[in-house]
Chains A and B, each alone.
Chain A
Amino acid sequence: MNRILCLEMRGISKSFVDVKANRDINLTISSGEILGLLGENGAGKTTLMNILYGLYRPDDGEILVNGEVVKLRNPKDSMRVGIGMIHQHFMLVEKHTVLENIALGYDEAPFFFPQRTLRKRIWELSAQYGLDVDPDKPIWELSAGEQQRVEIIKALSRKADLLIMDEPTSVLTPQETEELFDILRKMSSGGHSVILISHKLEEILNICNRVMVLRKGLLTGEARIEEVDKGKLAVMMIGRQIAAAYPKADINPGDVVLEVTGLDVDSDRGLPAVRHLSLQVHRHEILGIAGVSGNGQQELVETITGLRQPLSGSILMKGVPLDHADARKAHTLGITHVPEERIKYGIVPNLLLYENSVLKRHRDAPFSSWIQMNYGAIKDHAGKLVDSFQVDTPSINVRVKNLSGGNIQKLILGREISGGPELLVAAHPTYGLDVGATEYIRKQIIELRDSGGAVLLISEDLDELFMVCDRIAVMFEGRFMGQVTPESCTVEEIGLMMTGSTIQEE
């Protein structure tokens, strides 16, 4: 097989039961290019890429490689012509080592001593592209960034010339994102091409040569990167500019809602994750927690929301102790939770949208009485959520797994914000949301604060924290390195604290 010099998708259309996900789309990419694919949630980006990867078959249209029509019936066909795809949710076997994962489906290994050949190949690829991983570590020990590198090596070892990456940076730290982009640049100068889906406009501007914008399944815009800036991209995507700042009502924080004192929590691996940590969140206040992920934020969130047992310390919610892992109790005390791993925890993929719209609230009036579910009220509620949070779905009677990634997130956010919680604990609430939806969610979070709610916002996106929070705590290795207000501090200072250096508190 020759290398892909030029790949063309012509007139691609694809419909699902009630949705036209792609309509007559043309896409061209040539060797060495990095193409950005932009579009609102549910615009059809993932669908289009799944077609290119052979997971879905188009209803109409054809795909040409170097001018010849190819039929891509399954991922194997696509790999054979040199197309590799890295999904947002990694497809690695957790208990196996890096080497074993790469070996899966690696056809060229000789029958004898396959490890030796493969190890050499991995080593070559790592050296060539700066893909640093230890081949003998099991996957579950790796960070998200490392796992992604394994996926890239896996694709490259199968001779992928075109690499599709679906929202690769949403799980990465800013540092890891930079490393990824270095790798992509090296690949592109080596003649590989990349299609990158992202909702982060800076990233698209930073790395791509060209962008394409999808809207409601149609290709609505295309530009060379020199011709656009952030504002223009937003207009191309949602037809208007986005807010640069979010006004907040001028209210002082009220009573303490959540009080955490001297909390110690272990991680799943039995290592200390949260170390003697204390914090307070008040009514009318958004407390942001900044930090590189993996510094105990997840364990902290899980403990506060009743999913994890602390070793010691106390959690008081409105004065009531929350000392056992008890998600039900946390819920009745008015804590809602937007989980970080949303597909895993936040929804039941095989249940219908309206059934998912009351998950965790299913015991509350009016959604059920002591024995019976009240599906009438539930459907009303689901309809309202879909409307006010602009969840793009053909109806409330679809399985949630058929929604696009961003729309699943909108549904979860709507569910957790709409009940008017006393305390909203939100981990990376705008991951995977398009710029319009991001803006809307930030406004909703601020409105919740203005109307008396308390918010604990975990994010790695410092811009987001600066725009939304009243106070920011920086977490490093399970401790707070300091608490600051956005007005009294710069992004750079916080960046420093995230790597472990303390600064004087104001």
Chain B
Amino acid sequence: MQIDLLPRERSTATLNLLILLGSLLAGLLAISVVFALNGVNPALAIFSIFKGSFGSWYGIKETITKAIPLILIGSGLALAYKAKFWNIGAESQLLVGAIFSTWVGLNWGPHLPAIVLVPLMFLAAFIGGALWGMVPAVLKIRFGINEVISTLMLNYIAAEFVKFLVVGPWKGASKGGYPYTDDLPAAAILNQFPYSRISPVLLILAVTGALILGWLVYRSRFGYEIRVIGENTYAAKYSGINFFRTLVVLMAISGGMAGLAGAGELMSIHHYLSYPDSLSAGYGFTAIIVAWLARLNPAYTIVSGLFFAGIVVGGDAIQISMGMPAATVDIFNGMILVFLIMGDFFISHRVRIRLGRTVDA
């Protein structure tokens, strides 16, 4: 048997889609092995996951609820990754956004009507996420510090800071010793569709946000410059693109989107700031895969966000019904990311496998 790797000479949209589906399938197969090793029937487990998320009204509503932060964050990450700026820090940008909007909510909330307060809190969250996102961009351009390291480290800093706030200065008087802030005033709380946890405002925000970022990447001047930077930094230099300004703005948007997700979770679901892991459930990391599955087109995160939200919801369901450990969902997502990235290789290469011996020269 002989295996040849050749550069692929042509690639079409259909082919790319097939490769995408192939990678997903391969990922599912690999996960099946994990399930089987745990003594669980893999077909049943995977079926249960998707039944849990898309098989009932309750599941669908929960899936949409969780898709919202994934779309907000994922579209911002797709934007950053287009410039090959590897932002792994969305989790902390989300937290800083939540901190900023909590501050606005608690301090100004009691005196303002919802119509003013809600936009202000979103704005504050965007600014918070943006500032936190700009730090690694500045560090990279001014001091050459690798953004993967800096964004990852900033995650810890932000998480510890939130913990400090909720057990220390911001600890709520009304919370009986729990590490929570006080509840946000009623004007800060977002309405939800009846019998669901979906906030219409957030849903609109996420969908329009993803579409606007999609426009930004493929239609705007800023997006053009981002793509030039991402594809060839020498050409970007040659064409006089301002790296500093472009990357700082880029990360402000990317971080700001994560900040919005933080405010959304706060104002729609939790109503007060609490421990980092209860606020976010790792959305900042799952969104990395969301961006990748969307092939770095922010608009497509609307679809890929729903898909991964489905896995999160379905994963929760089988944890309970089949007694799987909580890490199941993480393994699931990790496997899919690995296979998606491997799939990219087959977009640029093709493999020929021939069986039997061939006569060689």
Contact = CB atoms under 8 A, between A and B. Distances in A.
Interface of A: 1, 16-17, 55-57, 65, 68, 70-74, 77, 80-81, 306-307, 326-331, 337, 339, 344-351, 355, 359-360, 362-363, 368-373, 375
Nearest to A82: B361
A56 B361 CA distance: 18
A373 B231 contact: no
Interface in B1-41: 2, 4-7, 9-10
B221 A73 contact: no
Nearest to A56: B9
Most chain A C-beta atoms within 10 Å of own C-beta, residue among B223, B234, B352? B234
B242 interface: yes
A307 B238 contact: yes
Contact of A327 (B220, B222, B238, B358): B238
A345 B235 contact: yes
A346 B237 CA distance: 10
Contact of B6 (A57, A306, A369): A57
A71 B358 contact: yes
A345 B240 contact: no
A359 B9 CA distance: 25
A73 B360 CA distance: 10
B171 interface: no
Interchain residue pairs A-B with the least CB separation, the first 9: A328-B240, A327-B240, A360-B239, A70-B361, A345-B238, A348-B232, A368-B221, A348-B231, A81-B361
A348 B228 contact: yes
Contact of B239 (A80, A327, A370): A327
A373 B361 contact: no
Interface string B339-361: 00000000000001000001111
B111 interface: no
Contacts of A372: 219-221
B238 A373 contact: no
A53 to B, nearest CB: 12
B361 A80 contact: yes
Contact of A65 (B221, B224, B242, B361): B361
Interface in B98-123: none
B227 interface: yes
A309 to B, nearest CB: 13
Contact of A77 (B239, B240, B361): B361
Contacts of B7: 55
Contacts of B358: 71
Most chain B C-beta atoms within 10 Å of own C-beta, residue among A307, A331, A345? A345
A326 B242 CA distance: 9
B361 A359 contact: no
Contacts of A346: 235, 238
A349 B235 CA distance: 10
A373 B220 contact: yes
A127 B328 CA distance: 65
B89 to A, nearest CB: 26
Contacts of A345: 234-235, 237-238
B195 to A, nearest CB: 41
B240 A373 contact: no
Given A1-B361, A331-B240, A350 B221 contact: no
A351 B240 contact: no
A362 B236 CA distance: 12
6 contacts: A17-B9, A68-B361, A331-B239, A345-B238, A359-B235, A368-B221
Contacts of B9: 16-17, 56
A291 to B, nearest CB: 23
Nearest to B223: A373
Contacts of A351: 227-228, 231
A355 B224 contact: yes
Given A346-B235, A347-B232, A372-B220, 12 more contacts: A57-B6, A68-B361, A73-B2, A77-B360, A80-B360, A327-B238, A327-B239, A344-B234, A345-B238, A346-B238, A359-B239, A371-B220
